[in-house]
Amino acid sequence: MDKDSKIYVAGHRGLVGSAIVGKLLAEGYRNLSFRTSQELDLRSSDQVDSFFKNEGIEYVFLAAAKVGGIVANNEFPATFIRDNLMIQTNVIDASYRFGVKKLLFLGSTCIYPKYASQPMREEDLLTGLLEPTNEPYAIAKIAGIKMCQAYNRQFGTRYISVMPTNLYGPNDNFDLNHSHVLPAMIRKFHEAKVEGKSVVELWGTGTPRREFLHADDLADACLYLMHHYNHSDIVNIGVGEDISIRELAEKIRAIVDYAGDILYDASKPDGTPRKLVDVSKLTKLGWQAKIRLDEGLASTYSWFLQTSEHRRTITNI
């Protein structure tokens, strides 16, 4: 990509998209294109076609998706598979028909089997059953990967697919019913502290292990791969180490400075027992994560505090 290339970041206001926009701007890319979901409904093929036809897009970061944690995936399985299939199908196909030079598709490590070997390798895809709680979302993402590979094979496109591990950072979703585990914990511990609650209740046993990658590191990796990777095979993006949910809870409790107890509700689902990705392929390509978890958690909580205070101030005007 040249500095003046026309670049479209789909999902620019989300956790991933906003980090990619920030990285592109920091690197001197100024010819960026993005639309809110109100301005452009990516589920509408007519709207997507009109956008690509008129904008002259050269490069695409496809970060737009319907995402959520265990609760949201359990409550809205049809919405997750429908919306994600529609979004990625429309953008990938329009990119081909309107001459996009290269596209990066953001997948997720939930594509791997529930009991995949650890750490999960790229070749583990489609070797076993998926985790039931997020199967509709995972199937949509797998379809996106296969669509990119099929277009490359049939039409000679340059579509690459990356599989980031669990993400966190600024612009994350902190809604308790629809967020992922890390931002949900931040909000739970913060509100318990503010409200003087003696106990914070968390889902599951606390024993599952998860890997967490800061969104700014993901953005850096995506830009790196746009410049240095041109194969159909998927690439994992992660840090190469994981911690238990209990360990994560203790870290967040310390950062928030919450003095109460933690109660684990073992009647609630744990999800996949472990999710650690093999990042050896990405390391060989020349990229490694830089932001340590403690540093990332502290900056994310700081962002949450500033944003929450700003929203309260606006609401009270």
Q: Tell me the domain boundaries of the chain.
A: 7-172+211-241+273-291
Q: Which residue has the higher pLDDT, 297 or 71?
A: 297
Residues known to be catalytic? 137
- The tens digit of pLDDT for each residue in 249-292 reads 999 999 999 999 999 999 998 877 888 999 999 999 999 999 99
Ligand-binding site membership of 109 (annotated): yes
- Quick one: pLDDT at residue 313? 33
Residue 309: predicted pLDDT: 54
pLDDT for 315 equals 30
What pLDDT does residue 177 have? Answer: 73
Fold of 7-172+211-241+273-291: Rossmann fold (3.40.50)
> With pLDDT > 70 as the criterion, what percentage of the chain qualifies?
97
User: What proportions of the chain, in percent to the nearest 5, are helix, strand and coil?
Assistant: 50, 15, 35
Q: Is 178 annotated as a binding residue?
A: no
Strand partners, 237: 164
List the single range of 24-33, 189-198, 267-276 with lowest mean pLDDT. Answer: 267-276
Query: E-strand spans in the chain?
Result: 7-10, 32-33, 59-62, 102-106, 159-164, 166-168, 199-203, 209-210, 212-214, 235-237, 243-244, 261-265, 274-275
pLDDT at 83 (0 to 100): 97
Q: What is the pTM of this model?
A: 0.92
Res. 210 pLDDT band, cuts 50 70 90: very high
- Class of residue 197 by CB neighbours under 10 A (exposed 0-12, middle 13-18, buried 19+): middle
146 labelled binding-site residue:
no
pLDDT tens, position by position, 86-141: 999 999 999 999 999 999 999 999 999 988 999 999 999 999 999 888 899 999 99
pLDDT score of 108: 93
**Is 270 annotated as ligand-binding?**
yes
The pLDDT score that the predictor gives to residue 314 is 30
H or E element in which residue 185 lies: helix 181-195
Q: How far apart are the first and last CA of the chain?
A: 44
